[in-house]
Each structure stands twice: as C-alpha cells, then as structure tokens.
A and B are shown apart, each in its own frame.
Chain A
Amino acid sequence: MRKAFALPTVAIAAAAFPLLTMSAASAHSGSYQADLGALNQSGVSGTGMVTIEGNQATVMIEASGLLAGSPHAQHFHIGALGQCPTDADDKDGDGFLSTTEGAPAYGAIGTSLTTTGDTSPDSGLAVDRFPTADNGTVSYERTFEITDDVHAAFDAGTAVLVLHGVDKDGSGAYDGDVKSDLDPALPMEATAPAACGPLTAAQMGTAPSGGAETGAGSTAGTEQQGALAFGALALTGAAAAGPWPTAVVRRRTRPDPGRSCRAADHPARHEPTPCHYPRRTS
C-alpha cells in the first residue's frame, strides 16, 4: 500500500519540478584551490588546484620543502569540518600531530592522489604510487574520475588536501621510535601530515586546461609550410650527425595528455594551423 502510494508521488514531483531534476543531473563544475600550510613544523608550502568537470577531476599540486627523495602520500580528505588541524591537536602528546589526530578537522581519506592506478581510499598508503619529492618538491598532475562522496564534499566545502611524510628529527629519512598510527610497521614520520589546505572555490571560476592556441593560422600558405617542414625534417636528420642546433624541432617528445599542446594531441581538430612567423630564422 505504501509503495503504491509513493510511486505516483515521485512522478508528480518530477512533473512539477522538471528544472529541479535537471539541475541535479548536471553536476557542478569549477576550480578549487588549496593553499598548503605546514603541519608538524615541516616547512612545507605549496598550492593545490583542482578543476572538476562532471565526475572528472584534474588535480595539480606544486609543493616544496618536503623530505627529498622520499614518497609523500597525498589525499583528499573529506567528511569533517573541511579545516586543517594544528600541531596543538597532538592529543596523545607523542610530539606528532598524527593523521588520526587531524581527522576531526579534515576527515577521512576520500581520494588517494596516486600517480597511477587506483585512487580509492584503499590506496591511502600505497607509497610506491605516490610522488617522490625530488629536491624536496612535488609537481603532480593527474586527471581521473572522482566518486560522488568526494564530489559532494567539494560542493559542501569539506574537501581538504593533505600531504603526508615529515622528517621531524631531521635525519634525512623516515625513522624514529614513534610508530605510525595507521600502520605500526611504518615510522610515524612516514605518515604524519606535512601540509594541509582546505579546497575552496578558486577565483578563476573554471581554470582552462593547459596552454592557449593563440598562434595558429588559417589554411592559407601551406606551400611555405611544406618547405618549412621539409627543412625542419632535414635538420632533424642532420642533428644526429653534427653539432647543429635542434631549435627548430625541439620539444616534440613530451605529449602529456593531461595538459597540452592541443594541436599535438588532437591534430584532426586543429589542423591545419600554419603560421608564417617562426621566431628562429636560422
């Protein structure tokens, strides 16, 4: 009886508020930014930028001051206050603000910002798939699908970017007597939060992906393009044999699907885009 009654109610509601159902279906898109502040006196600073389009998130993180040569787990934490803890939240007084002690402020792991593969909370400690801070810096970019709970956390202002791993005793490695609250096989230094920033709506409503194609031309002038291409090709062939500058054809080997020189990624969309004004003249 209840069921029979409920169904028409839904139908009536949908008919009465078509716009409501529409807007629920079209997910919010936009850019978010986190200014990373240090935790556990890590000295880490940096910025995270996340652009969400549908259920796809493009995540960029630039951070410095991290323990060099060591992996740093990084996550979206969700489901709490959307804030960062302070070192004073070291409840057990072991000298570390642990990941667990930070949870009342930033919540549980919602997304593991791995370099490859799974991004679920299951990969929260997959140290072999997190960035290693060469020279103490991390420059991360990846586009992947986010889950509905994470998406909702961004909308609600409760998503927080957290980077983990801090060499608190300055030994140059993750070590020490205090064990991790997350995995007793690991030292606390390997998992304690090093930097944190709430993700809030960026001033740039939606940050464009990659660079801008502001130098392309129209379809004219292809005969000269042909000559240019031929010259460049010949130079490429010669470069292997002699000390000739490869300026004309340099930097063609880094197609990065995430951000891009779009003409390279999608030649069909943009070609032909010749232009008569190369900078290098010899």
Chain B
Amino acid sequence: MLVLVGVVSVVLVVTGQRSAPQPAASTGERSESVAPSEPSPSGEAPTGQNRPSAVAEQVAEPVSVSVPSIGVTSDLLRLDLNDDGTVEVPPLGPDDQAGWYERGPAPGAVGPAVILGHVDSAEHGPGIFFDLGALRPGAEVTVNRADGTVAVFAVDRVETHPKDDFPTIDVYGNTDDAQLRLITCGGDFDSAERSYEDNVIAFATLVGTRPA
C-alpha cells in the first residue's frame, strides 16, 4: 500500500514536467565519462613535478558564452565565493544568465576556467544550462571576451558527480592547457533536501581563438 501511494503521488507530480537531460553514462553511483576515447578518465595522467603555467598569458575577461548545440547564449555575470566558501551561483530570474567564477582563470588562459548556470528554477522553469547534460564530446563552446576576441572550446566529456563527493581536484585543479568547465545541477532531485544531489560538469579544452 505504501508503495502504491508513493509511486502514484510521485508520478502525479512528475507528469507533465520536463526533465533536464543527463549525460548518457551518468546512471552509476560513481561518475562516468561520456567520452570513451578519453585516455585518462579521471585526470590521473602522470604530471610532472610542479609545472607553473609557462607563459603567464594575459587574457581579456569574458563577457558572454555560447553553446550552439544546446541553444545557449548568455552574457556572463561575475561570481565570487559565498561566506561559507562555496561558489556563488547566478541569481534566479526570468532572464536566467550564466556566470564566470572570477577567482579562477579567465576562459582561454591556462588553467580551469569555470562558468556556472542553473539547470532550472521552480518559478521560471528551465535555466540557462538546462540542456548541459545533453552536450556531446566535440560540441563547440565559445566565449566572447572584453577585447572582442573569441575563445573557442571543444567539449571533452560530461560527467555527473554527487555534490557531497565533488571532484574538486579534477574540476578546479591545475591544468596544462586552457580548460573550461561548465557546471550545473543534475541527478536526482532530493525533494526532502530540496536540492539536486549531483553536479553536471562539462569539461572542455581551448581549440582556437578568433581575433576581434
């Protein structure tokens, strides 16, 4: 009986609602990579001893991001840290925007640049990164910068990780080249906690720069 009540009420609520796409291989407890060709799935490639970014490349700050394959175009807000050390997220509103984490590298500079966007909101529906989980390896991400140049990234893989087991070093750790991480929420919605349990993270690598 309990089972019946549970299923019925969940189904009732869910019917007619949209569901954010998830990475194809995200059903396991542990995250999995979407890209089978990824040579070292968990970033454990043997890195040399401290390799400071050889060229302290000056890169103009980002102003907007586009992900054509999922129809995303957004001006970028500036995001800092909350008092508790977690990353700020963009304010919710009818005109949802993505944001750049300004304490990290600028997109196109060597290192892990981070852009965050909501998957959805109760009041306003799908968020700017609603379809992030549907991104496929090779998809193009472009970031327009304040000096008019455009940094072009290609998606390497999309991963899903529990928020309470977030792969901080993989996502925020040093990289040998210019990387971009697009982050949103996903996984199961924990209705008791009123929060998604997972973060969906698209990892991308700089493949080119277009002049102003």
Give chain A's interface residues, CB within 8 Å of chain B: 31, 33-35, 37, 45, 47, 49, 51, 53, 58, 60, 62, 64, 84, 197-198, 200, 202-221, 224-225, 227-238, 241-242, 244, 247-252, 254-256, 259-264, 266-267, 269-282
Contact A230 B195 (CB under 8 A): no
Chain B residues with Cβ below 8 Å from A225 are: 122, 191, 194
A234 to B1, CA, bound (A): 9
Known: A251-B197, A261-B163. A212 touches B173 (CB 8 A): no
Bound form: Cα–Cα A273–B51 in Å: 42
A210-B164, A235-B3, A273-B195 are known contacts; what are 9 more A-B pairs with Cβ within 8 Å? A45-B44, A208-B87, A208-B172, A212-B87, A212-B184, A225-B194, A235-B10, A274-B194, A275-B194
- A209 to B193, Cβ gap below 8 A? no
**Complex Cα gap A223–B121 (Å):** 15
Q: Does B174 contact A (CB under 8 A)?
A: yes
Cα distance, A280 to B198, chains bound together (Å): 13
Q: How far is the CB of B121 from chain A (nearest CB, A)?
A: 4
Q: Which residues of B contact A33 (CB under 8 A)?
A: 173-174
In the complex, what residues of B have CB within 8 A of residue A228's CB? 9-10, 13, 189, 191
B 134-167 binary contact with A (CB < 8 Å = 1; else 0): 0000000000000000000000000001111110
Q: Does B5 contact A (CB under 8 A)?
A: yes
The smallest beta-carbon distance between A245 and chain B, in angstroms, is 10
Question: Are B193 and A233 in contact (CB-based, < 8 A)?
Answer: no
Q: Which residues of chain B from 169 to 186 have any CB-CB distance to chain A below 8 Å in the complex?
A: 169, 172-175, 183-186
Q: Which residues of B, 1-27, contact A by the 8 Å Cβ criterion?
A: 2-3, 5-15, 17-20, 22
B6 CB, min distance to chain A CBs, angstroms: 3
Instruction: Choose among A58, A220, A251, A273 the residue that contacts B194 (Cβ–Cβ < 8 A).
Output: A273
Question: Are the C-beta atoms of B103 and A210 separated by less than 8 Å?
Answer: no
Closest to B22 in A: A279
Q: Is the CB of B20 within 8 A of A214?
A: no
B39 CB to closest chain A CB (Å) equals 15
Q: Determine if A213 and B195 form an interchain contact, defined as CB atoms under 8 angstroms apart.
A: yes
Q: A252 and B3 in contact (CB under 8 A), knowing A198-B50, A231-B13?
A: no
What is the bound-complex CA distance between A2 and B101, given in angstroms?
52
Max chain B C-beta neighbours (<10 A), residue from A49, A84, A213, A281 = A213
Q: Do A216 and B168 touch (CB < 8 A)?
A: no
| Residue contact A275 to B84, C-beta cutoff 8 Å | no
Closest 5 CB pairs of A and B: A215-B185, A217-B122, A203-B111, A211-B163, A234-B6
